[in-house]
Amino acid sequence: VPCGVCRQSLVEFGVDWDMYMTKPDMTYKVMKVKELLPLAFVPSDLQRERLPARNTAGHS
């Protein structure tokens, strides 16, 4: 199974494709990328409506 950083990198290519995880004896398991990292930060998250910035002038 890929590490967390690798999973996030895979998500950059999309979440609805099959990942084949193969053992040395050639048995394998197939999962969707979204199953490997269910709460992933995906490119579409960048397109969400932004909240107005708070005015923090004068605060330290």
pLDDT for residue 31: 93
pTM: 0.57
52 vs 60, higher pLDDT: 52
Output the pLDDT for position 58: 62
The ranges assigned to domains in the chain are 4-42
Q: Indicate left, alpha or beta for 14 from its phi (over 0: left) and psi (-120 to 50: alpha).
A: left
pLDDT digits 0-9 by tens, 19-44: 999 999 999 999 998 898 888 877 77
Q: Residue 7 pLDDT > 80, yes or no?
A: yes
pLDDT of residue 12: 85
The count of C-alpha atoms lying within 13 angstroms of the C-alpha of 51, restricted to the half-sphere facing its C-beta, is 3
Q: Name the token pair of 22.
A: 């193969």
